[in-house]
Structure 1
Amino acid sequence: MNKRTGKLRVGVIFGGRSGEHEVSLQSARSVMRALDPAKYEVTPIGITKEGRWIAGDVMAALAEGADARPAALLPEPAHSGSLSLWERVGEREESAPHLTAITELDVIFPVLHGPYGEDGTVQGLLELAGLPYVGAGVVGSAVGMDKAIFKAVMEAHGLPVLPWQLVTRARWLREPEAVLDAVEAHLPYPVFTKPANLGSSVGISKCNNRDELRAGLAEAARFDRRLIVEQGIGRGDQRARELEVAVLGNDEPQASVVGEIRPRRAFYDYVAKYMAAPGSEDESELIIPAPLAPAQSDAIRALAVRAFQAIDSAGLGRVDLLLDDESGALYLNEINTIPGFTSISMYPKLWEASGVSYPELLDRLIALALERHREKMELETTIEPSALSPGGSGPAQGGAQ
């Protein structure tokens, strides 16, 4: 905390090396506008599409290509809270760079969607740096990001997911016809093809026949080395109801009301989410709360919390589910550990409908980040041999030799 002003110093990280770079800019604008200036000093920290960290007028640099200063966060607890600036000594380009601290930070608010930000990579850097940060840790972020691993974890916990198959990009490029045969042998149409590690519906296709499946896998393979083929629900005009629940908390998470998305397109794709003009034929209908029986809504909210806990998530997460309206069967689709955060995104809208305003939601997320960090700081990270219990003849069960 800044002792002079009494304000928390919040670093907001956004941009990133991801197909969701532009979505991240939209979310970050909303977050920074809504953070109460009476409580927080906000430092924008940008990551370009090439992976360079920058400071200064970050939004202009990322959105318009303006110049910005290179920056870095050191992965060392000794430098915890220090955002440093790379500067060159002398006038020659080959001069050795050095680091100069340009600000101190109390907590980081990552607003990074997709790979290299939502997948545990940035979270790992922040753990090494000893900085509190909003959202899931390394494990929860990685599992939530990888659709195949997420589904496997849900199955291990006895939680419902649709039938699915994992296809590697290498196998698809090497033997496409065999891959198509294998998918058709196990999954009836329609199916959905997806990159395993991407969000915002980037690279996702709905496939109703072999030709569309071939095109869908080729599209997904543009973005990832692991591809998912997932069973669709319904035939013809019938399709699943797409439900979303916002979860908030650490060890005792709470679920928002249930929301429903009714896309006018084939499914809730990138165009429907971010490009559809209001009132256009591409605009999806967002219904909050979803028209559900109270018992059904309670079951959906409870399932969302169980999924959140199963991947050891923290802070926030948007759980997406599919409901087969004909059979009543419910399936977990995915968890977004850093969901879209514009003022009209589903996560804040669901909490607004549950009685938590956008600024209050940001306050609670920052408080949860600090709470989780304090708990970590109470843990022992080193062991002195003299402190071990006497009399042991070997390592404990499961210990390393």
Structure 2
Amino acid sequence: MSTRERTGPRTVLVIGATGRTGRQVVDGLLAAGVAVRALVRHPLTAGLPAEVTMIEGTLQDPGAVRQAATGADSAFLLWIGDDPAEIPPVIDALTSSVRHVVYLSAADLRSGLGAGSAVQPGIHAEVERVLEASPSTWTFLRGGGFAANTLEWAGQIRAGDTVSVVHPGAGRSLVDERDLGEAAVRALRDPSLVGRALSLTGPETLTQEEQIAVLGDVLDRDLTVQERDTDEARAEYATLMGVDLADRALSYWATLIEDPEPVTSGIDEILGRPPRSYQDWARLHRLDFESLTTAEVAHRYAEAFRSGRIADATRMLDPDVVRVAPLEEGGVEREVRGLAAIMENAARQTEDGDMESVEVGDPLVGDDSFAIRFTFGMRAHGTGERFRTVKLSLCAVAAGRIVREEVFYHLNPSMNP
């Protein structure tokens, strides 16, 4: 750990600002009067407050990280990736400017009790090791199971009353992302937490079956738990996180049946109060699990765009949503599948200009679809020319989420109409 003198940060770089915890960090820092910079893949669709200075780039690009870190005093880091070879050059770029890094790590809660449980092996331990050898000071916040991970059940709950899970008896002490965000803001501003590694959990241990019962109580529904085939789950998780990580995760969950995760004192120690309960988290996220009508989806989607709340708008989209836009590739119909691919496509379509305004019409709602009109005000890079692009989206809805969007342009979206 460096002995470099540390003062309260004037500017903080947030890496992972568009995630659930990262957004809590952004909002907490702004509320405390701290200037915030954010490294984001697509500034247009980031949905961050206007006060945030956004630098376009990815965590895996040391040059972008160095640019984002320049001028920042401290940084909040959420590591995304599983290649340990990427860690040293990125940490070097980050710590060339910032004096202190708060890293949202992961706890190995089986290794011990209390606030100082060991780091989860693998990528988290490697990031910690490299940060310890860097010129910056650090604080490691080792989160236990994230309450937000139970959102993976949302699709099943919206579609019916049976929830299929692997190892229903696995006990976890889930932590609320609001508590993680508050703890990170405190660690960024409180010198007494420099050089500390604290494990953060919720206030109680609940089995996955008990967690689903909590969701049923909040939704006023009788939910049934069904044990899922482990091999089937392994195949699905392997496509999302790789075979090794999927195997480790499933093996870990199996151990939690006989040896459930403990509750640690990290949140109490940092924030001076008990952590929020899973029941509190479930009430806050009730909308994510509700099966909304087509009209409710349509109007909430429109209002989110009108208010500039892009993150709320994307919550109305199914993760596997399909988007068809016939005029975006020289008149050739192009189908884009998945939320991440759609966001990347949106960034490509606007890379030659800046969006200055969005007007949203009232949706026209049918039984299982709705139509909505958008008018985008754009300014071209270089020439400064202003122009408007009007599009009509026909959105199909199933289980309370948009599953397909067909886009029809009134004006060609090219920068040279």
Same fold (TM over 0.5): no
Q: What TM-score, normalized by structure 1, do the two folds share?
A: 0.28
Q: TM-score w.r.t. structure 2 length?
A: 0.27
Greater RCO (CA < 8 Å, at least 6 residues apart): 1
Greater fraction of residues in helix: 2
